[in-house]
């Protein structure tokens, strides 16, 4: 998720549709990267320093078709929860159903108006921008539901950077993503606080990730708080509270932190209040 202007990857081989769509979206402040094929879309998605906030894919593309492009984009690290909207001149129920099964969240039938395009895009990434806390809660909720069905464990690791080092927040995020598996998620809560969601990972596996993190990242200013589903809680809120408690305990001396990334000189703010303040502030 971006924190400034929202970025869109537009995959469309029609010059007219591509040009008009880009012009309309850029007029509303979106940053649009346009490509004409599925192959080029996959290259751009993999090479982008940060995931695009939205991917718009035409179903009928030369070379790799739109459905295959959608499937492969969803397999790229960091894109599991990125919304994808398909464009099609053929809105057959079977085709739309297949696209949704592959991870699409919406579709738009050609020909479409500028107003229709903006309405769909705004609904997906415009006026309802999620906070980092909401992104983390959403990911935890989905992963815990999967864990319940599959009877496996999930680890949540909060990582605190207590001192500024030479690496930017984005540099740290990119390094951590390369270090983790494709199924793992990294959420930047603020410039000094990160959350790692590790599916299929018990306590011992999370400890291995923490050890790897310490080896990969320079400096000794890192502190960690870990919680495991289901031992430490049956839902995302319980896991966050337990991970925060352990993070604050490890950091020992004030100032302490809460999941909202706020400094507290004495007792940490209750998690519910911290998250609410982060959401509203």
Q: State the pTM of this model.
A: 0.51
Q: Where in the chain is the domain with CATH 3.40.50.2300?
A: 7-126
CATH topology of domain 7-126: Rossmann fold (3.40.50)
The whole-angstrom separation of Cα 274 and Cα 267 is 12
Residue ranges matching CATH 3.30.70.270 in the chain: 132-280
Measured distance CA(44)–CA(51) in Å, rounded: 10
Which is nearest to 99 in space by CA: 68, 62, 142, 139?
Answer: 68
Counting beta carbons within 10 angstroms of the beta carbon of residue 258, is it exposed (0 to 12), middle (13 to 18) or buried (19 or more)?
buried
The Cα 240–Cα 140 span in angstroms is 9
Consecutive sets of 10 residues in the chain, 281 residues long: mean pLDDT of each? 69 93 86 95 90 93 94 91 90 84 91 90 72 83 90 95 72 83 85 92 95 82 93 94 92 56 42 44 48
CB 98 within 8 A of CB 71: no
The reported pLDDT for the residue numbered 258 is 54
* DSSP assigned state of 228: E
**CA 24, chain centre distance (Å):** 26
Q: Does domain 132-280 correspond to CATH entry 3.40.640.10?
A: no
Q: What are the C-alpha distances in Å from 50 to residues 17, 157, 159, 168, 236?
A: 26, 21, 20, 13, 25
Supply the pLDDT for residue 3.
Answer: 38
pLDDT computed for residue 231 by the predictor? 95
């Amino acid at each position: 998720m971006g924190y400034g202007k929202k970025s869109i990857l537009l995959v469309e081989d029609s010059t007219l549709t591509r040009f008009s769509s880009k012009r309309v979206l850029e007029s509303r402040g979106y940053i649009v990267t346009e490509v004409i094929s599925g192959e080029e879309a996959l290259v751009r998605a993999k090479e982008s320093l940060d995931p695009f906030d939205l991917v718009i894919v035409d179903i009928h593309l030369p070379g790799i078709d739109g459905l295959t492009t959608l499937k492969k984009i969803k397999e790229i690290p960091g894109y599991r929860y990125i919304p994808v909207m398909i464009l099609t001149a053929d809105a057959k129920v079977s085709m739309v159903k297949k696209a949704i099964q592959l991870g699409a969240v919406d579709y738009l039938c050609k020909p479409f108006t500028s107003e229709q395009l903006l309405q769909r895009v705004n609904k997906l990434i415009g006026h309802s921008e999620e906070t980092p806390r909401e992104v983390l809660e959403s990911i935890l909720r989905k992963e815990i539901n999967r864990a319940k069905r599959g009877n496996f464990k999930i680890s949540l690791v909060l990582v605190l950077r207590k001192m500024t080092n030479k690496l930017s927040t984005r540099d740290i995020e990119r390094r951590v993503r390369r270090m983790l598996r494709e199924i793992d998620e990294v959420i930047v809560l603020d410039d000094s606080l990160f959350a790692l969601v590790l599916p299929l990972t018990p306590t011992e596996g999370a400890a291995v990730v923490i050890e790897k993190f310490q080896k990969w990242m320079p400096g000794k200013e890192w502190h960690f708080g870990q919680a495991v589903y289901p031992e430490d809680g049956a839902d995302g809120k319980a896991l966050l509270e337990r991970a925060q408690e352990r993070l604050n305990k490890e950091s020992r001396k004030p100032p302490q932190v809460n999941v909202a990334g706020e400094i507290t000189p004495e007792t940490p703010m209750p998690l519910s209040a911290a998250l609410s303040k982060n959401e509203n502030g």
